[in-house]
C-alpha cells in the first residue's frame, strides 16, 4: 500500500521547506533497535513521503525484521508546517502490535521475549525544522483502551538529510517504567524521487 499522491499537483507553498523529504527511501543497511527491556534487533524500513497538493505531506513507514523479513511496525500520517515559521507537526497512527517486554501476565502469549497484544498508538509530534533537520517531541499520545502496559509516555524523533544524501532517523522513547532513551537508529537512500 502506498501513500496517496498526485505528481501533477504542485507542492503547497507552506511545505516547500520540506521538499527534501519527498520520495521513497529504503534503508541502505539494517537499522538497530534497542531498549532496556528487549534484546537488540535489526530491521529494514521503507519510507514514503508524498503529497496531493494540500498543505500536508502524506507519509508511510514500513519496518521489517532484517533476517526473517516479517513485518514489525507501521506508521502512517501527515506532516504540517505552521505557515511563516519553522514549526512542524507529525500526526501519526501506529499499529505497534508487537511489544517487547520481560513480564508475563494472564492473557498474553510469551514468545522469545516478545509479548503480543494490540497496542495501537496515535501521536502528535511537534518541533522545529532547522535546515534539513527535523527535531520532534511527542505532544499527545493516545492508545486503544485495551492496550497493555507498559505504555509509551514520550517519543522524540530526529530526521535529517546528511551531506552524503542519505536520510537518517533516530527515535527515542520513554515508557511507564523507563526514562527517555534511544530506541531506533537507521539510515536510508532515496530510491525514487517524487516528481
Who's near 157: CB < 8 A, 6+ residues apart?
Answer: 90, 125, 127, 134, 135, 136, 169, 170, 171, 172
* Of 92, 70, 77, 48, nearest in space to 194 by CA: 48
- Residue-wise pLDDT tens digits, 77-128: 999 999 999 999 999 999 875 444 333 444 444 444 444 444 688 999 999 9
Model-level pTM?
A: 0.86
For residue range 125-141, list pLDDT tens digits in order: 999 999 999 999 999 99
Q: Are 22 and 6 in contact (CB under 8 A)?
A: no
* pLDDT at res. 145: 87
pLDDT, one tens digit per residue, over 10-45 is 999 999 999 999 999 999 999 999 999 888 999 999
User: What pLDDT sits at residue 144?
Assistant: 86
| Domain annotation for the chain: domains and CATH numbers | 13-100+112-192 (2.40.128.20)
Residue 21's nearest CA partner among 53, 58, 70 is: 58
Beta-carbon contacts of residue 106 (< 8 Å; ≥ 6 apart): none
CA distance 184 to 128: 20
The values of phi and psi at residue 134, to 5°, are -105, 130
How many Cα atoms sit within 13 Å of 7 on the Cβ side? 6
Higher pLDDT, 149 or 3: 149
Amino acid at each position: 500500500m502506498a501513500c496517496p499522491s498526485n505528481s501533477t499537483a504542485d507542492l503547497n507553498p507552506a511545505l516547500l521547506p520540506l521538499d527534501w523529504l519527498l520520495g521513497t527511501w529504503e534503508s541502505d543497511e539494517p537499522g538497530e533497535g534497542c531498549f532496556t527491556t528487549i534484546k537488540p534487533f535489526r530491521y529494514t524500513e521503507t519510507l514514503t513521503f508524498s503529497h496531493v497538493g494540500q498543505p500536508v505531506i502524506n507519509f508511510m513507514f514500513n519496518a521489517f525484521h532484517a533476517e526473517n523479513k516479517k513485518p514489525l511496525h507501521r506508521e502512517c500520517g501527515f506532516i504540517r508546517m505552521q505557515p511563516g515559521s519553522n514549526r512542524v507537526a507529525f500526526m501519526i497512527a501506529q499499529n505497534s502490535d508487537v511489544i517487547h517486554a520481560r513480564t508475563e501476565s494472564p492473557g498474553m502469549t510469551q514468545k522469545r521475549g516478545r509479548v503480543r497484544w494490540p497496542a495501537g498508538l496515535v501521536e502528535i509530534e511537534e518541533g522545529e525544522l532547522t535546515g534539513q533537520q527535523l527535531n520532534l517531541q511527542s505532544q499527545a499520545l493516545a492508545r486503544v483502551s485495551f492496550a497493555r502496559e507498559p505504555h509509551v509516555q514520550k517519543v522524540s524523533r530526529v530526521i535529517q538529510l546528511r551531506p552524503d544524501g542519505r536520510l537518517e532517523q533516530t527515535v527515542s522513547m520513554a515508557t511507564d517504567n523507563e526514562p527517555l532513551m534511544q530506541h531506533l537508529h537507521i539510515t536510508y537512500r532515496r530510491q525514487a524521487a517524487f516528481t
